[in-house]
A and B are shown apart, each in its own frame.
Chain A
Amino acid sequence: EVLSGVVVITSKDTVQHQGISLTMEGSVNLQLSAKNVGVFEAFCNTAKPIQIINSTIEMVKPGKLPSGKTEIPFEFPLQMKGNKVLYETYHGVFVNIQYTLRCDMRRSLLAKDLTKTCEFIVHSLSQKGKLLPSPVDFTITPETLQNVKERASLPKFLIRGHLNSTNCVITQPLTGELVVESAEAAVKSIELQLVRVETCGCAEGYARDATEIQNIQIADGDVCRGLPIPIHMVFPRLFTCPTLETTNFKVEFEVNIVVLLHDDHLITENFPLKLCRM
């Protein structure tokens, strides 16, 4: 694709310059969360920004610009070096993928160079091929739970349901159904927790961080037994991107179905998701 636009220069009088250039940069910034820094000190080196794209073009040769408003149109082909992949723009907590366009006007020694930077967003093209739906059925009972300290103290319950697909199109909501078939204790709330998992890593090790990016309540109070409750969650536009997996970092998503019982038992069932753009 081509990045196109105009550079607008407004001045009262004629401007002397040593040339105007445009630079396009794209980089991945990996940050380590505080808790991981100590453990992976050596890792810091590898966590430097990874450049994805970097190219400069000369727009105007050194010379003068007339007074008033000058518009200089430009077109910039988005081309990757070699076989590198152009990732989608993404702003996470620990992973940032950012694309910027910088316009530099070099000037004589007397005056400072003028620089203007502007971020542009890269949306990947829809992936080709059909997305295969991958429905998941689940059943949650005290027996299916892991990490239970006192299984005996758990109230009995049976929750069944399904997700229509764990392969999700990012613009479409996550859908499914959930049925509380039985539960000894009253249900307080059922929530869908969308979790983003960012992993930064290299040969030395990796840092994995999960962030809750959205929490949607789908049931409030002691719901009717045996009645299917819809699971419906719209993916927040700013905080999600297609699932990304590279050698250095990963951005993945998971959804937790959280059932909160009245005796403050918290039951969580985790489903990894695969998001993509269609």
Chain B
Amino acid sequence: MHARARNYVSESEVCKLESVPLDFGDYHPLKPITVTESKTKKMTRKGSTSSTSSSSSSSMMDPLSSVLDGTDPLSLFAAAADPVTTAPPTDGARRKRDKDESSAVGSDFEPWSSKRGEILARYTTTEKLSIVSGGKATTTGSAVSEKVRTRLEELDDLEEGSQKELLNLTQQDYMNRIEELNQSLKDAWSSDQKVKALKIVIQCSKLLSDTTVIQFYPSKFVLITDILDTFGKLVYERILSMCVDNRVSLPDNFSPESVNDTAKETCLNWFFKIASIRELIPRFYVEAAILKCNKFLSKTGISECLPRLTSMIRGIGDPLVAVYARAYLCRVGMEVAPQLKESLNKNFFDFLLTFKQIHGDTVQNQLVVQCVEIPLYLTLYSPAIDWILQCIAYHAPDCCDDALLLNSVMSAFRAEFIAARSMDFIAMIKECDESGFPKHLLFRSLGLNLALADPPENDRLQILNEAWKVITKLKNPQDYINCAEVWVEYTCRHFTKREVNTVLADVIKHMTPDRAFEDAYPQEKFLPFLDMFQKESVRVEVCKCIMESFIKHQQESTKDPVILNALLHICKTMHDSVNALTLEDEKRMLAALINGFIKMVSFGRDFEQQLSFYVEARSMFCNLEPVLVQLIHSVNQLAMETRRVMKGNHSRKTAAFVRACVAFCFITIPSLSSIFTCLNLYLHSGQVALANQCLSQADAFFKAAVSLVPEVPKMISVDGKMRPSDAFLLEFLCNFFSTLLVVPDHPEQGVLFLVRGLLNVIQDYTWEDNSDDKIRIYTNVLHLLSAMTQETFIYHVDKVDSNDTLYGGDSKFLAEINKLSETVVSQILDHLKTLGKEETLKRQSQLAHYFFNTIVAHGDLRNNRLNQLSVNLWNLAQKHGFADTKTMVKTLEYIKRRSKQPDMSHFTDLALRLPLQSRT
């Protein structure tokens, strides 16, 4: 058999279609249709958020007062047991003063007086108290014990030298005693014994440093600060009265300049006296009590004093004593200068700083000694903290501060404390200004607390409802997920599946269709959040949602390690959900999602990183074949990309890298179960290897493909239906042969080793009985062989010497090809003969025509034998009337047209020898 010589270049020139310049950059027919959709995105987002209802109009109650309202069992009990406390000893003057106070800060500020009674009623004790007192109160005859005497020596001597430590007082006695002290203070003052009055006050405030019988401390604080208030008022009024010039008293908002020197001097004297009080706590309280008197000295006096007193409290070691000192300072500060918020805040922050002390040894030891449990102990703080917060929150200039404080409260306090008051906190959070500190952070903080400690049983559902109402309205997905992740845990802890489902449904609803996930996942908590989805199916659903939106919204490839890590985790979760029972559809979907992710990963020029990512992905997703396929393609692409970057000239390093890529493919492909996938991948990878000058690797691929061909089953499942595989095989083999043209022969194997091998395999393959595929393949092999005889092959792989260069048209090589061709031709002819039966005549005709075409196209028809063969085939095709006349006519026309070309004159003869059979 003789192949005709071809000049591919000139042929292509002749055959080429008229070339139309195309702009490949913009338009590619296969490119998916993309719509620029910034507008649509917005729309959808809007749509999804408006679905949530708003109903936060529940009535607001004062969060602070509600803590202490009548339902508190303690206060109920106390009210019943102790009739006096229900009517706290408020004399007319005091009440009047309270009124004055509150008018200074506005009537909406809950005054101290209303707190006072609550505290007294709540913090009671049945234990015996002791008091060190001076003045007239000592007439009650209690025996002077040894202890008293030693105490006497320690104490600064009061003028009368008559103070005693009174032991074993009941609470009621104690309160009476303090009231007596209050009275004796007033008496001393009115009888002009100023020093004695001061000493009484100092003695009283000293009592506040004593924390024995700790559960009574808040009440003690209330009682003693009453005395301090009285004292402060007395001093103030006294100095004010000294300022009366010409019987005209000073206006309310006088300036220090209008105060005369005597009054100033007196005032200064008070401050000097107080400054020399030895002990810290009395010094603090007394100075705070007369804080208002600073007004006489200078305009800035109070604003300078408050911060100083605030930091002075830091010296108080006992946290309980300190917090009450802060509460007192805030109280006085609010009275005197409600506009000075900074010290209030500073007080609060200082308190937060020292809060850790509660768990320190000193406090714990004290509690053990007094047999007080931590929860009870913590409640002792609440009046003071509530008060401080109320002061801070009152007319807060911008709510930002307010919310900030709330947030720090929630993060600083023990979770139990917060949990017990979560309803109040929710109310407060809802009250906060939208423009200030972000609410979602507040809810998040609250949620964190609730995850740690349980709120009261009855409130639980309401808490969830209230909180979720707000959370679900959050527009920003990141804010939303930040909150939601925390609250899901709470929901899981306390509620049934139904609630959890509702919550999850909401989460999914928010996070699915149009959420920009790429923003959400870098959150470190994101993965733990996912882990909270206990039920695997739900978790996988969520993962799928995430991946869908990722693929949909991720515009450009990424290499962010956080994102990669998170998504790998998600993909892994999805992958791990695959088991024997998983539906094909499901698998395909998961695989598509994972593939989408893999395609979005790009490390740019860091090819090695990219490869190692693929390796990692392979180990993670080994159960999903489509993912493996994608990985192989990706790796191949990577290799080609490397080649492109190196412009085909691999350096030693890139060559090694490319070989690594090839090796990756080579070991991955066998793990696939679909044989055609394997074959195609072998072929594809072989081509890549060839393109990258990895000749032996390419050989290995092709050999593997060849040896795999016999295993191709007759029927394969395509889209769930069983189909004969021959069409696929045919297609593959044609493709394969085309590739083999450029594959150079292995120096140690025989000529056309691979082609021969493949032919042998085809020969041995058990073809379908009534199919002509084998012959079609043989015919196609002839195409290949004819191409191989050309001096220069029709195509080449850059930088790879194909057989045309290797053999340089060597006659031995050509002879080999000829031998091979003849074998193939004889195979074809044998087959044609077997088709001579009635029922196979049509196939025979078709095959003959096909073969004829091949010869006309590729054979050298000047060769007589070939010429004769073609004529015979032509006749055979028409012999039994099965030939399609139209095709025959066209073929003939083609031959005639060809004959007009130069060097094709022999076609004219041929055309004459080809009779056209008429239909009749």
Contact = CB atoms under 8 A, between A and B. Distances in A.
Interface in B247-296: 271-272, 275-276, 278-281, 283
A223 B319 CA distance: 8
Interface stretch (A58-66, A87-95, A118-126, A231-239): A231-239
Interface in A220-278: 220-224, 227-230, 232-234, 236-237
Q: Is the interface of A mostly helix, strand, loop or mixed?
A: strand
B308 A232 contact: yes
Given A214-B276, A216-B278, A217-B279, A222 B312 contact: no
B272 A234 contact: yes
Nearest to A237: B272
A219 interface: yes
A159 interface: no
B314 interface: yes
A187 interface: yes
A215 B278 contact: yes
A80 to B, nearest CB: 30
B416 interface: no
A221 B317 contact: yes
B252 to A, nearest CB: 29
Interface stretch (B351-359, B643-651, B857-865): B351-359
Contacts of B317: 187, 219-224
Contacts of B357: 222, 224
B272 A220 contact: no
A19 B753 CA distance: 151
B321 A234 contact: no
Contacts of A220: 209, 279-281, 315-318
B311 A224 contact: no
Contacts of A236: 272, 276
Q: Is the interface of B mostly helix, strand, loop or mixed?
A: helix
B350 interface: yes
Contact of B314 (A186, A222, A227, A233): A227
A38 B281 CA distance: 44
A187 B281 CA distance: 16
A19 to B, nearest CB: 38
A217 B278 contact: yes
A214 B275 CA distance: 10
B37 interface: no
B308 A218 contact: no
A190 interface: yes
B612 interface: no
A230 B357 CA distance: 19
Nearest to A187: B317
A230 B311 contact: yes
Contacts of A221: 209, 316-318, 321, 362
A228 B316 contact: no
Contacts of A234: 271-272, 275-276
A88 B898 CA distance: 134
A230 B312 CA distance: 6
A222 B362 contact: yes
Contacts of B29: none
B361 interface: yes
Interface extent on B, as a size class?
20 to 34
Contacts of A186: 361-362
Given A186-B361, A220-B209, A222-B362, A230 B308 contact: yes
B353 A227 contact: yes
B360 interface: yes
B523 to A, nearest CB: 31
Contacts of B272: 234, 236-237
A228 B278 contact: no
Contact of A224 (B271, B283, B356): B356
Contact of B316 (A223, A232, A233, A237): A223
A234 B271 CA distance: 10
Nearest to B353: A227
A224 B312 CA distance: 13
Interface string A189-231: 0100000000000000000000000111111111110011110
A88 to B, nearest CB: 18
Nearest to B357: A224
A187 B529 CA distance: 45
Contacts of B350: 227
B316 A219 contact: yes
Contacts of B353: 224, 227
Nearest to B277: A216
Given A186-B361, A221-B362, A227-B354, A216 B314 contact: no
Nearest to A224: B354
A216 B312 contact: no
Nearest to A236: B276
A152 B403 CA distance: 50
Contacts of B315: 190, 217-220, 223, 229-230
Specify which of A221, A222, A228, A236 lies most central, judged by the most chain B CB atoms within 10 Å of its CB. A221
Nearest to B274: A234
Contacts of A215: 278
Interface in B406-452: none
Specify which of B271, B314, B319, B350 lies most central, judged by the most chain A CB atoms within 10 Å of its CB. B314
A228 B362 contact: no
A111 B114 CA distance: 75
A224 to B, nearest CB: 4
Contacts of B354: 224, 227
Nearest to B321: A221
Nearest to B365: A186
Contacts of B316: 219-221, 223
Nearest to A262: B362
A220 B280 CA distance: 7
Nearest to B318: A221
A220 B322 CA distance: 10
Nearest to A221: B317
Contact of A219 (B280, B356, B360): B280
A167 to B, nearest CB: 20
Contact of A232 (B276, B279, B312, B362): B312
A228 B314 contact: yes
Nearest to A220: B280
A227 B283 CA distance: 20
B360 to A, nearest CB: 7
A248 to B, nearest CB: 30
Nearest to A188: B317
Specify which of B209, B271, B276 lies most central, judged by the most chain A CB atoms within 10 Å of its CB. B276
A220 to B, nearest CB: 4
Interface in B300-320: 308, 311-312, 314-319
11 contacts: A186-B361, A219-B280, A219-B314, A221-B317, A223-B315, A224-B356, A224-B357, A227-B353, A232-B312, A234-B275, A236-B272
Interface of A: 173, 186-187, 190, 214-224, 227-230, 232-234, 236-237
Given A186-B361, A186-B362, A228-B311, 15 more contacts: A216-B283, A217-B283, A219-B280, A219-B317, A220-B209, A220-B281, A220-B316, A221-B316, A222-B360, A223-B316, A224-B314, A224-B357, A228-B314, A230-B311, A232-B312
Top 8 A-B residue pairs of the complex, sorted by shortest distance between their CB atoms: A221-B317, A219-B315, A234-B275, A222-B362, A217-B280, A224-B354, A222-B317, A230-B311
